[in-house]
Amino acid sequence: MTLPYEEPLAVRQPGPRVVPEPPRRGEPGGEPCGICTGQASAAVWSDDLWSLHPPVGGSLPGAVWLASRDHVDSFRDLPDAAAKDFGSIIAAVERAIYTLGDVGRVHLYRWGDGGAHFHVWLLPRPLGMLEARNMMLPLWEDVLPSVPDEALRSAAEQVAAALGAERPPRPR
């Protein structure tokens, strides 16, 4: 049992499909893009291709999200330079998260269902927290008590410092 819920759980049927889907943030007809309008949490590191941000209202210090500097939607839309750099920047952020210690694995998630500005999540699975392996970590992240946003930002700033030693921040 790895779910963060007590049994018995019941499988439920999905609701009717909603087609066309409602616009996401940053899409025509949707709410403004939070990243482009400065509504998202301020970056702790950035260069000409990427910006790195702490979460708000989360439960895992060391969690960060990485966004493209350009307002583009998905992998297929990234400029060539960003697409080619993606593996390199993710590896650098992963290394930076491990410097915090107490990290079992670093998970990388890309959903894109909320906003239409390219971003991915990197979540540290706490060392030894085996029930949070695989797809269970986001569920646990949701139900664990939130830690203060200042603590999330402080941990992200430590990640940014380690990242900056490898890839110095630079203005666009």
| Site residues, Zn ion (CB under 5 A) | 26, 33, 35-36, 71, 117
Tokens 């998905």 locate to: 74
Q: How far is the CB of 70 from Zn ion (least distance, A)?
A: 8
Name which of 2 and 37 has its Cβ closer to Zn ion: 37
Contact 62, 100 (CB under 8 A): yes
Name which of 81 and 127 has its Cβ closer to Zn ion: 81
Contact 135, 43 (CB under 8 A): no
How many contiguous H segments (helices) and E segments (strands) does the chain have? Answer: 3, 5
Instruction: Give the H or E element holding residue 125.
Output: strand 119-126
Q: How far is the CB of 65 from Zn ion (least distance, A)?
A: 13
Q: How far is the CB of 113 from Zn ion (least distance, A)?
A: 15
* Residue 78: alpha-carbon gap to chain centroid: 17
Name which of 37 and 88 has its Cβ closer to Zn ion: 37
Q: How far is the CB of 31 from Zn ion (least distance, A)?
A: 11
